[in-house]
Chain A
């Protein structure tokens, strides 16, 4: 069975500084990895995904993520944090679960606070 770990419940960063939100995964076979963001009282918004190819994936709102197969990690990064980036971030892995279906499994989430 697949699993995702987000080791930090909360990350605090000063506005303008680079940010990293960590994610490690466990899956049989090729991983399909995703990052989502959730603002208060809202659903999840898709940020980016890794399917295959370049290990550095660029996504929405200036976010990017680095896939590292040997470390089974998929950390989310942004060069310069904005106060508006403050939200809950979820890493997810999608893997084959039988019957032609791919189940999406989420990490527990990391709350990012960007301090002005």
Chain B
């Protein structure tokens, strides 16, 4: 099975712009989660989608949003970019929402905000 794929892998934007990141989960996986990774804050949970519905959201401002499509693919959007949004954004998929389901991560999208 193909793993989790994320596009693009690298992105450079300027402050005030918006960006959309894409994630394709492993075939058959219906749950998609997004994380932000920075050297200072580590890995922080953004949100989780299951069956096209946002099931959980982390402590991020409303500029961060996402959605999931009927084929389980997911996108996240960040509007009005700030310098502090520079990070590695990781997408993870799992078969279900159960606590015991391990998540499988994509390679990430490296976002740099100038």
Q: Which residues of A are at the interface with B, using a C-beta cutoff of 8 A?
A: 32, 34, 36, 41-46, 49, 51, 90, 94-109
Q: Is the CB of A104 within 8 A of B4?
A: no
Tally inter-chain residue pairs, CB-CB below 8 A.
59
Min C-beta distance of A44 to chain B, whole Å: 4
Residue of A nearest to B43 (CB): A106
Chain B's interface: helix, strand, loop or mixed, by majority?
Answer: strand
The CA-CA distance from A109 to B40 in the complex, in Å, is: 11
In the assembled complex, 17 residue pairs joining A and B whose CB atoms fall closer than 8 Å, in A order, are A32-B100, A36-B105, A42-B108, A43-B106, A43-B108, A46-B103, A49-B100, A51-B99, A90-B43, A99-B55, A101-B50, A101-B56, A102-B98, A103-B45, A104-B45, A106-B42, A109-B43
The residues of B with any CB-CB pair to A shorter than 8 Å are 4, 33, 35, 42-43, 45, 48, 50, 55-56, 58, 90, 92, 97-100, 102-108
Q: How far is the CB of B82 from chain A (nearest CB, A)?
A: 23
Q: Which A residues touch B58, using CB under 8 A?
A: 103
Q: Which residue of B lies closest to A96 (CB)?
A: B99
Chain B residue nearest in CB terms to A107: B42
Check B48–A49 contact: CB distance below 8 A: no
